[in-house]
Amino acid sequence: EDQVTQSPEALRLQEGESSSLNCSYTVSGLRGLFWYRQDPGKGPEFLFTLYSAGEEKEKERLKATLTKKESFLHITAPKPEDSATYLCAVQAEAGANSKLTFGKGITLSVRP
Amino acid sequence: NAGVMQNPRHLVRRRGQEARLRCSPMKGHSHVYWYRQLPEEGLKFMVYLQKENIIDESGMPKERFSAEFPKEGPSILRIQQVVRGDSAAYFCASSLRGAGRGANVLTFGAGSRLTVL
């Protein structure tokens, strides 16, 4: 069974204080690892897809990296508007569909 | 492009009533997924549908829950005889492809929040 574990559950940062969010996963053949952002009362918003170990992707203050067992979402000099829940999910090669298995998410709060 | 549209956004039902949640996928998408998000829990997969077919319902409770995606119109998630434990946010997502090589991005709607009194 595919599993995703995210840590820590919650993270409070001061504006400008860089940090990393962790996502550990087990999957029967990785088709893709996804990061989404979810704001309160809204649906998940797609950020990144990573396909293979060693891959990195960047968007503004966010950089996602991937190894064979983990992914990290690095946040550089965060701003209050980066406050949200960050979700990690895996998509397996096996099977007839593209369903995602999600972790519980990491709630990030950035204080001004 | 209006994205994935879900309605109603909020629904209140009394125990024993029926709840119907609707989802219109993104234009050009023919693959629909339903997820449930309980307080303090992650998003849990419920069912995957293509037009007129249920492909994977491995995450659906065996009783009271059903889903459809007719040839015309939105996908519908139906919950019969609701109980308080059904209170949750229900999210629909759509994708351009289902199976096949390469990762396939799911685009999510804003969700429908069901409250059972």
Q: How many CA atoms lie less than 13 Å away from A14 in the CB half-sphere? A: 1
Cβ <8 Å between B44 and A100: no
Which tokens hold the place of B103?
């990762």
Cβ <8 Å between B106 and A43: no
Sign of CA dihedral A71, A85, B108, B63: positive
Q: What's residue B35's pLDDT?
A: 97
Are A4 and A89 spatial neighbours (Cβ–Cβ below 8 Å)? yes
What residues of B are in contact with residue A34 (Cβ under 8 Å)?
A: 103, 105-106
Residues of chain B with pLDDT under 50: none
Cβ <8 Å between A96 and B97: no
Q: What's residue A98's pLDDT?
A: 78
Are A104 and A6 spatial neighbours (Cβ–Cβ below 8 Å)? yes
Cβ <8 Å between B103 and A32: yes
> B49 to chain A: nearest residue by CA?
A97
How far apart (Å, rounded) are the C-alpha atoms in residues A104 and A93? 22
- Residue range A37-75, pLDDT digits in tens: 999 999 999 999 998 999 999 999 999 999 999 999 999
Kindly tell me the burial class for residue B18, based on how many C-beta atoms sit within 10 Å of its own C-beta (0-12, 13-18, 19 or more).
exposed
Q: Single out the residue of A9, A91, A5, A97 nearest to residue A48, CA to CA.
A: A91
What residues of A are in contact with residue B91 (Cβ under 8 Å)?
A: 43-44
- Residue range A80-109, pLDDT digits in tens: 999 999 999 998 876 667 788 999 999 999
Cβ <8 Å between B99 and A91: no
Q: What's residue A95's pLDDT?
A: 65
CA distances from residue A10 to A3, A48, A87, A104, A107 in whole angstroms, order as listed: 19, 21, 12, 11, 5
The vertex-B72 CA angle with B113 and B78, nearest 5°, equals 30
Q: What's residue B97's pLDDT?
A: 75
What residues of B are in contact with residue A95 (Cβ under 8 Å)?
A: 56, 99
- How far apart are the CA of B98 and the nearest CA of chain A, in angstroms? 5
Pairing mode, strands B19-24 and B31-37: unpaired
